[in-house]
Amino acid sequence: MNRILHGRLTGLAVLGAIIAVLPVFLTNNFYLDVAILAGFNAVVCVGLNLLIGYAGQISLGHAGFFGIGAYASGVLVGVYGWPPIAALLAGAVFVGVLAFAVAKPILRLKGHYLAMATLGIGIIVSIVLRTESGLTGGPDGMMVEPFKIFGVELYGEKVWYWVVGVLLFVVVWLSLNLIDSPMGRALRAVHGSEVAAEVVGVDTARFKVMVFVLSAVFASVAGSLFAHYAGLITPAKADFFKSIELVTMVVFGGMASTFGAVVGAVVLTLLPQALTVFQDYQQIVLGAILMATMVFMPKGLLPTLAGFLPSRRRA
């Protein structure tokens, strides 16, 4: 198990196998839909985990970036008739530039400042989406055209399952590559001790900015594709709670573990489905999970489980 978690290729192979085999068990469109949503969340969380888990920074506004991507696709394709792929790229570039412009000055500072700034951005984005109803449809949201590329239209849960599956696979691969590189070590060093990283030549501010921009772009791309899949987007997808939900997934699944982020996203996407019976308790459960994870297993689910295994084997 530990080898699976730590070996780069083994873990990737297991993920690929699960993605490939899963449709056998997803016998109706509802199950497929849940799996697709989990996949989208996982893509965002893998990116967010690079920021939170590896670099030790926090974003309370990632849903805002997801929302910008989603609405860029919705508006540019639906209102201005852009090709979907161009809209997706435009959204990603815009988010990248925005994230850079904000992070560049703020990440020179230490402490809670990124949390505050991302909180502000996220809320402003969701207010803009709610208010500019001429373009965005306001609080009720807007319809989004299907994704078309080279004359092929992506339609139906079955097709989208594979789109999201491949996307997740690629994003996990990229994340694993990054972590196992000099830049990845620099990011983890920033988390471990900024001053120690600096004295061996790591420009800590630069790497924090880079990983922040990268994770924001991941969220934007996922948002764009989600918009085309869902066909309807609302400002709720971009609001503060959605941002907190994303942080919860990363933290619960396992900070500084790419597969942990995937597990966290999947579990917490499924949980509300399982909890619909207890809908009144949903918030309490979510809040309790957040607190309990941080207090009792601060490393998160997957790393904590992995930590148990070798000792059990010995016993």
Partner 1 sequence: MTMLTAQKPSSDAAPVARRAGPPLLRVENLSREFGGVLAIGDLSFTVAAGDIHSIIGPNGAGKTTLFNLVTGVYKPSGGRVLFDGADVSGQAPYKLAARGMSRSFQNLQIFFNMTALENVMVGRHLHLDTRLLPALFRFPSLVRKDSEARDRAAQLMADVGLSRYLGADADSMPYGALKRLEIARALASEPKMLLLDEPAAGLNATESREIDAVIKTVAASGVTIILVEHDMKMVMGISDHITALNHGRKLAEGTPAEVAANPDVIAAYLGAAP
Partner 2 sequence: MFAELLQYMLSGLTIGAIYALAGLGFSIIYNASHVINFAQGEFIMIGGMASATLTASGVPLPLAILIGCGGAMLVGVAVAKFAVERARDASTVTLIIITIGASIFLRGLAELVWGKDFKRLDAFSGETPIQFLGASMQPQSLWVVGCAGVLIVAIGLFFNKTLTGKAMLATSHNRLAAQLVGIDVKRVVLASFALSAALGAVGGAVVAPITFSYTEMGIMLGLKGFTAAVLGGLGHGPGAVAGGLIVGVAEALGAGYISSAYKDAVAFVIILAVLLFMPNGLFGKRGAERV
Residue 5 site contact among partner 2, partner 1, none (CB < 5 to 8 Å, cut-off depends on kind)? none
* Contact between 63 and 246 (Cβ < 8 Å): yes
| Residue 186 or 247 having the CB closest to partner 2 | 247
H helix intervals, 28-147:
29-49, 62-78, 84-106, 113-131, 133-136
Side-chain half-sphere of 24: how many Cα atoms within 13 Å? Answer: 6
Q: Going by DSSP bridges, is the β-strand pair 152-154/232-233 parallel, antiparallel, or unpaired?
A: unpaired
Give the residue with the Cβ less far from partner 1, 113 or 155.
113
Measure the N-to-C terminal CA separation of the chain; round to a whole number of Å: 16
Q: How far is the CB of 278 from partner 2 (least distance, A)?
A: 11
Q: 174, exposed or middle or buried, with CB in 10 Å at 0-12, 13-18, 19+?
A: middle
Contact footprint for partner 1 (CB under 8 A): 174, 177-178, 181-186, 188-189, 191-193, 195-204, 210, 214, 256
75 binds, among partner 1, partner 2, none (CB under 5 to 8 A by kind): none
When the beta carbons of 140 and 180 are compared against partner 1, the nearer one is: 180
Q: Which does 120 bind (CB under 5 to 8 A by kind): partner 2, partner 1, none?
A: partner 2
Q: Which does 139 bind (CB under 5 to 8 A by kind): partner 2, partner 1, none?
A: none
Which of 287/307 has CB closer to partner 1?
Answer: 307
* Distant-in-sequence contacts of 153-159, Cβ < 8 A, 24+ apart: 154/228, 154/229, 157/29, 157/32, 157/33, 157/36, 158/23, 158/32
Q: How far is the CB of 147 from partner 1 (least distance, A)?
A: 24
**Interface with partner 2 by CB under 8 A: which residues?**
52, 56-58, 60, 102, 105-106, 109-113, 115-117, 119-121, 123-124, 127-128, 130-131, 195, 240, 244, 247-248, 251, 280-291, 294-295, 298
Helix axes 240-253, 258-275, angle to 10 degrees: 120
Nearer to partner 2, 22 or 115 (CB): 115
Least Å distance, CB 201 to partner 1, is: 4
